[in-house]
Amino acid sequence: MINFLKESTFVVNEVIGKAWEVTKRNYFSIATLCFLMFITSNASGLMAFFLKDVNKALSALMAFFFVLLYFTINLSMLKYIFHLLDDEEHEVSIVSTLPTRQQIIRFIVGCLYFMLAIVGVYAVVILVAFPFIYTGIRMPVITNIAISVGVVAIFITWVRISFFPFFIIDKNQPPFGSLKFSLAITKGNFTKILLLLLVLGGFHVLYLFLSYLQWPVIAFFVNIMSSFLIVPLSSVALTIAYRKMMSEYDGDAEPDIIHNIV
């Protein structure tokens, strides 16, 4: 187990190191895309606030428009990072990395499958816990255990299938196929991904901790550093991690779900 953790840590360090080099050379272009996502996300919230009492149909339409725009920028950033990894010597404009209509539709459908998978996993945990009601154990105990196990199962599922957008952009996979591939390549790599997420999410945890201690000035600067440094670095690092897992994947061309769950 110790050797496995050492190996995982080494792999995470390798991914972070390469991601830092790519981000440093192309910081402004990557940061610009991240900034556009930030602006789009906040603009949608403001628009929903101002239109909520004017016209609900218009508010819903604008919300859909901003969500679609956010997804487009997100997929465009993935496509741009793939270009940097595959052919960094040749310049490419951000406009030329816009996803196709088919890729956007596949991503939206993939998100629906993603949410159904999360709900399905939680429902299975609740169903498994249901027979224990008849054991005589107090209900609050069973409920708390079921909720705790359900949250852990949701987190594991989220990590395992969260790479599906990469397959849509990189391999032009259909929505359900992209989720199956994400499940397949993350098999045996969960610890490495978890360590990577802990490293990338460290600044956000530090920000929450400083906010809890009521140190607003320091927390503000940590949040700024996280927004303008860690977010671009995270996008590149996760793309590199995806490429590394794909290079090591030797499974089926059409992976199934059952054999890749554990």
Spell out the long-range contacts of 180-186 with Cβ–Cβ below 8 A and sequence spacing 24 or more: 180/254, 180/255, 180/256, 180/257, 180/260, 181/255, 183/255, 183/257, 183/260, 183/261, 184/249, 184/251, 184/252, 184/255, 184/260, 185/242, 185/245, 185/246, 185/249, 185/251, 186/159, 186/160, 186/161, 186/245
| % of residues, the chain, pLDDT over 70 | 84
The confidence score (pLDDT) of residue 208 equals 78
* DSSP annotation of 100: P
Tokens of 240: 């590199």
The reply to whether 143 falls in a domain is yes
* pLDDT band, very low/low/confident/very high, at 217 (cuts 50, 70, 90): confident
The confidence score (pLDDT) of residue 48 equals 62
Sign of CA dihedral 8, 12, 18, 22: positive
* pLDDT band, very low/low/confident/very high, at 55 (cuts 50, 70, 90): low
Q: Is the pLDDT of residue 1 over 50?
A: no
- Mean pLDDT, range 234-243, rounded to an integer: 92
Q: How many domains does the chain have?
A: 1
The reply to whether 81 falls in a domain is no
Q: Residues 2-35: pLDDT tens digits?
A: 444 444 455 788 898 899 999 998 888 888 888 8
Rounded Cα distance between 160 and 191, Å, is 11
The confidence score (pLDDT) of residue 62 equals 74
Residue 160 · residue 190 · CB < 8 Å: yes
Q: Is the pLDDT of residue 181 over 90?
A: yes
The confidence score (pLDDT) of residue 4 equals 45
Rounded Cα distance between 154 and 151, Å, is 5
The reply to whether 148 falls in a domain is yes
The confidence score (pLDDT) of residue 51 equals 61
- State how far Cα 242 lies from the chain centre: 12
The reply to whether 146 falls in a domain is yes
- Mean pLDDT, range 27-45, rounded to an integer: 81
Tokens of 20: 């830092």
The confidence score (pLDDT) of residue 164 equals 94
Rounded Cα distance between 178 and 113, Å, is 10
User: The domain containing residue 172 runs over which residues?
Assistant: 100-186
